Amino acid sequence: MLQRFKQLTLAVVIAYCFNAALASELENAWQPVPVEIQKTATGWQLLRGGEPYFVKGAGGDVYKLDLLKSLGANTIRTWGVGDGSVLDEAHARGMTVLLCLDIAPERLGFDYDDTDAVNEQLEQARSAVRQYKNHPALLGWMIGNELNLMHTNPKVWDAVNDISKMIHEEDGLHPTTTALAGLGEDIYSLIQNRAPDLDFLSTQVYGMLTVLHEHVASIGVDMPIMVTEWGTVGHWELPQTDWGAPLELTSTEKAAHYLKGYQLAIEPFPHQVLGSFVFLWGQKQERTPTWYGMFTLNGEITEPVDAAQKLWSGRWPENRAPYIEGLFLDDQAAAESVFLEPSSEYPILVEAGDLESELLSIEWVVMEESRAKEIGGDLEIVPATLSGLVEAASAETILRAPKTPGAYRLFVYVRDPEGKVAHANLPFRVKG
């Protein structure tokens, strides 16, 4: 038995050593593709493998990568390093990755006065850089995400600069950046003075995307930029009901905002804007289940996906998603702050259509209003869904108000036979 145990132990050790050696050999076999930012007579140019490379990207990790590639995108971004599999998945499809290092924001409790913690974070970043710097799918390094959100300690940017310097020492083939929530004159000044080692600046804008170029010019940004998140208008940027519920755009209005923002702020300025990442290539709960995701919870395509395809490839899909022109509860729109009596019945109506004149199906959903106060995309609880309150799955039907007083939201999903979806929602309040 002892001899058998020794044989098994030896076999395990040999297998472990073989696998470790194989992993090391594969890592060493990677051939990195050099990425650089070149100064030109008119501005800046991102080069990959010596060739111009304009980023047509999406934020959403490895979600539906084959579809993303087919629509004309070439890059994805992350919000953390993970296990690195995102690089392999992207490489298999001829795509690249802007890899975000796990750098702690001050607003979540990290103390940038704690020298030991700051040094430990730098060494963790060094480990990730050493592990993935030679991967051929790597486009660049993002040093944290929205570190300026609610920050008070300027030493954050000293740490960012030190990490950038470390990257340039460890990896001379890929540029560095940090992703900022918005872009103000004060934060730009801090970056200039405390983090000058960064190769380019990344900003994340939503409602203000349409005027980004004018804003960048007004504060005198003299470096290349990338828009690492952009999409619909943010929940903090829109009007609210009388009880404070934000008014979400319909999927149709969102698609129009995607098109307008990109065509005004990104596409015309390739000599300063190196590219962009649309948000969110996926689905999440953030104030509502539909606010930021370009897909439904079930993975269905919405109008912003069609808009992204048009922007990336220059062509619309053969089958376009349905559109919504209006949503009404008791003959009132969302902006009118709709109040209802408990358990009373009210007419609801969605005005929708389809460019291919296909037969559309309708789904109504009633949810409690979110009580979330999180910021920066932090995890939110999905509000409860109430069943049995809508009379029929038709464009015009009856809603019976919940019996319990409080804030709610009425959602409608309009589907075509191919499974593409338009959506809208309307907050309402039950009196009591």
Would you give per-residue pLDDT tens digits along the chain (432 residues)?
434 434 444 443 444 444 444 344 445 568 999 999 999 999 999 999 999 999 999 998 788 999 999 999 999 999 999 999 999 999 999 999 999 999 999 999 999 999 999 999 999 999 999 999 999 999 999 999 999 999 999 999 999 999 999 999 999 999 999 999 999 999 999 999 999 999 999 999 999 999 999 999 999 999 999 999 999 999 999 999 999 999 999 999 999 999 999 999 999 999 999 999 999 999 999 999 999 999 999 999 999 999 999 999 999 999 999 999 999 999 999 999 999 999 999 999 999 999 999 999 999 999 999 999 999 899 999 999 999 999 999 999 999 999 999 999 999 999 999 999 999 999 999 999
pLDDT at position 302: 99
Query: Which superfamily does CATH assign the domain made up of 32-313 to?
Result: Glycosidases (3.20.20.80)
295 vs 308: CA distance, rounded Å: 12
Query: What residues contact residue 347 under an 8 Å CB cut-off, 6+ apart?
Result: 328, 329, 330, 331, 396, 397, 398, 399
CATH 2.60.40.1930 intervals, the chain: 323-430
Give the pLDDT of residue 371: 95
Confidence (pLDDT) at 27: 52
**Under CATH, what is the fold of the domain 323-430?**
Immunoglobulin-like (2.60.40)
Sheet holding 385-386, edge to edge: 338-340, 421-430, 406-415, 361-368, 385-386
Comma-separated ranges of CATH 3.20.20.80 domains in the chain: 32-313
pTM of the model: 0.92
